[in-house]
């Protein structure tokens, strides 16, 4: 009996072993799939070198370099800004040196019977003209031209212009006479006058010739010979240009626009 039973037991153990092996051992397809997934995970996981390249390493040395670079850039741009300001200032000074010294301090009386001085020229572009109210043709024509210049300029730039009509006939050009006379011209024109000595001084400052005698009779019928120029003064009260009688209003407008552009570029400000 034992000879028959022993083989049966060995066969049972062998079968059990085979069943266990078949359950616990992974198949070839399972192994292949997991190897592939593991390989993909490794490829998509950044290495330490990749981390450094992506994030960067902010070491103390890098921090010092960063701060030093920032300070260097600050001083560089500060220096360049100062240099640009100096160039603008030099340009303004050279521009002033290249022009005639026209104008100066004065105190006169306006046609509204109020004090008017060179300080009242500041802050606006001024057209300064010398003449007299009894002038038969030239003065009215020049005052009309000034009005024709101011009108289009005001439309483009606003209220930054005025004109000053300075009398060279102090004996006859009283406050009331000047007020009546200017009623026919552009409202931006301000008439101003003074005594003979003051008139002589301001004409000298503006390099204007006039022939009025110091003892002229206020009731006399006489003409005054004088220079015929319209002086353009900038908002700082500095002489810019002189326009002669032959310059048409359209040309004067364009030249004034050019001067305004240059002034704004050089000073960095608008009126």
Q: Any bridge partners for residue 232, and if so which?
A: 127, 241
CATH number of 107-267, picked from 3.40.605.10, 3.20.20.70, 3.40.50.1470, 3.40.30.10: 3.40.30.10
Cα–Cα nearest to 229, from 212, 210, 211: 210
What's the pLDDT score for residue 190? 99
pLDDT digits (tens, 9 = 90+) for 206-261: 999 999 888 889 999 999 999 999 999 999 999 999 999 999 999 999 999 999 99
Residue 15 marked ligand-binding: no
Q: Note the pTM of the prediction, 2 decimals.
A: 0.65
What's the pLDDT score for residue 56? 52
The full set of domain ranges for the chain reads 107-267
Residue 203 marked ligand-binding: no
- Answer yes or no: are the C-beta atoms of 137 and 101 closer than 8 Å: no
Residue 135 marked ligand-binding: yes
pLDDT digits (tens, 9 = 90+) for 101-146: 899 999 999 999 999 999 999 999 999 999 999 999 999 999 999 9
Query: How many other C-beta atoms lie within 10 A of the C-beta of residue 84?
Result: 11
pLDDT digits (tens, 9 = 90+) for 155-186: 999 999 999 999 999 999 999 999 999 999 99
């Amino acid at each position: 009996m034992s000879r028959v039973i022993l083989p049966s037991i060995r066969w049972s153990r062998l079968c059990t072993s085979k069943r266990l092996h078949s359950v616990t051992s992974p198949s070839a397809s399972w192994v292949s799939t997991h190897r592939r997934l593991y390989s993909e995970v490794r490829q998509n996981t950044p290495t330490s070198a990749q981390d450094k390249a992506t994030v960067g390493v902010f070491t103390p040395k890098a921090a010092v370099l960063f701060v030093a670079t920032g300070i260097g850039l600050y001083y560089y741009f500060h220096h360049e800004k100062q240099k640009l300001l100096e160039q603008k200032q030099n340009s303004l000074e050279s521009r002033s040196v290249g022009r005639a010294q026209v104008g100066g301090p004065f105190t006169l009386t306006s046609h509204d019977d109020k004090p008017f001085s060179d300080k009242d020229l500041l802050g606006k572009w001024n057209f300064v003209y010398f003449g007299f109210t009894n002038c038969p043709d030239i003065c009215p024509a020049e005052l009309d031209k000034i009005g024709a210049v101011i009108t289009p300029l005001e439309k483009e730039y606003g209220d930054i212009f005025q004109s000053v009509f300075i009398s060279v006939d102090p004996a006859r050009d009283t406050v009331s006479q000047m007020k009546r006379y200017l009623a026919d011209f552009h409202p931006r024109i301000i008439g101003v006058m003074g005594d003979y000595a003051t008139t002589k001084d301001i004409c000298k400052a503006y390099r204007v010739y006039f022939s009025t005698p110091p003892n002229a009779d206020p009731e006399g019928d006489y003409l005054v010979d004088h220079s015929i120029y319209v002086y353009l003064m900038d908002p700082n009260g500095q002489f810019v240009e002189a326009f002669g009688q032959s310059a048409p209003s359209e040309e004067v407008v364009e030249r004034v626009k050019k001067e305004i552009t240059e002034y704004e570029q050089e000073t960095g400000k608008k009126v």
